[in-house]
Amino acid sequence: MRHLSVDSSGRLAAVLLLSSVLAVACGGSDKPAEGATASPAAPTAEGAVPAAPKPAMTVSTAKPETASLALQLQANGNIAAWQEASVGAEVPGLRLATVNVNIGDVVKKGQVLATFARETSEAESLQGKAALMQAEAAAESAKADADRARSIENTGALSKSQIAQYLTQEKVTRAQFEAAKAAYAASRVRLGNTQVRAPDDGVISARSATVGAVAGAGQELFRLVRQSRMEWRAEVTPAEVGQVKVGQKVEVTAASGLKVAGTVRAIAPTADPQTRNVLVFADLPKHTELKAGTFARGQFQIGSSQALTVPAQAIVVRDGHNYVFVIGADSKAGQRKVETGRRSGDRVEVLQGLKADETVAVQGAGFLNEGDLVKIAQ
């Protein structure tokens, strides 16, 4: 029998002690110490309930509606005077004494616009009156002589040649009297023409009259827009002019933004040789903001037709295109590109991209994005 040494037995005792300590440590990890509270187990992903997604925003919705919308023809053109009257000098060589109106003044028919110096015309009128009186006296004397000659024609006191002379003298002096009367009337007309009067009601659109100037015969002194009436001269292509009829209504938008209702008065029988467009003349109501020579656009009312429409708020403009957001059964918004057409009040025609049974977002549509979950307002 072998005997262990003291050193060997010491090492063996140390190994056995270490093994027992490890065994106690491992056993203690299996169960909690007496009196200790076990911590609850953490929940696992398996079987957990996810949180419900929240709507991005609340919107109101509407379905497209079919409505009768007006058919319109767009055109551009200019506003011009209906008619302009040229007011000129009828008496040559006279000096302008007064000018009573300026550009933009509203005048009445017969109103004195300017006056010429009257001295020369008055002198001519007096001279004509004197010549008329002289001719009248000569005519009366010749008539008296002719009457006496006729009374003694059958007595033989005067020869036939003398009687014929008296009768001829009567006719000559009568003609001279009529000529003098006509000359005097002409002088009175020239005297009246020293006052330049408006030929019609209207507004002064141009003025060249200057006090002190000597005007020539027929020289224009003023230009007058008759009746202060304006018209819109629209340019329409030959392909479209067949849709325009005399008497049709047209809505004209002036350069200032003013909108007025006009009526087609006439259609030009020929096209412009340069633009190849046909002029359509539309009468406009009187308004101070309508200025001749300014640009204006208009819409001819040529009928009506049925159209699929949505509220104007439903149309969202992004990147130069029109969109609507269609709300599906899952309350999600789908962006849809559409083609729009006519507008009437707060309704917009949709030509393509939307069906009549679909639902679109209205109020709040401009804040939506593709796939947003929405809450529909009740």
The pLDDT score that the predictor gives to residue 52 is: 65
Alpha carbon distances (Å) from 347 to 64, 65, 308, 326, 367: 10, 9, 9, 17, 20
Give the CATH architecture of domain 58-69+306-376. Beta Barrel (2.40)
Q: pTM score, two decimals?
A: 0.59
Distance CA 329, CA 374 (A): 11
Could you give the percent of the chain with pLDDT greater than 90?
63
pLDDT-based confidence at residue 163 (cuts at 50, 70, 90): confident
Q: pLDDT digits over 210-231, tens only?
A: 999 998 888 899 999 999 999 9
The pLDDT score that the predictor gives to residue 46 is: 52
Nearest to 310 by CA among 365, 343, 366, 349: 349
The pLDDT score that the predictor gives to residue 51 is: 63
The pLDDT score that the predictor gives to residue 377 is: 85
The pLDDT score that the predictor gives to residue 50 is: 63
Statement: residue 183 has pLDDT above 80: yes
User: Hey, where are the domains in the chain?
Assistant: 58-69+306-376, 73-82+229-304, 92-116+194-228, 118-193
Distance CA 247, CA 307 (A): 26
Statement: residue 262 has pLDDT above 50: yes
Give the CATH architecture of domain 73-82+229-304. Beta Barrel (2.40)
Name the average pLDDT for the chain. 85
Distance CA 132, CA 126 (A): 10
The residue ranking higher by pLDDT, 44 or 288, is 288
Q: Which CATH number fits domain 118-193: 3.40.50, 1.10.150, 1.10.3470, 1.10.287?
A: 1.10.287
The pLDDT score that the predictor gives to residue 352 is: 93
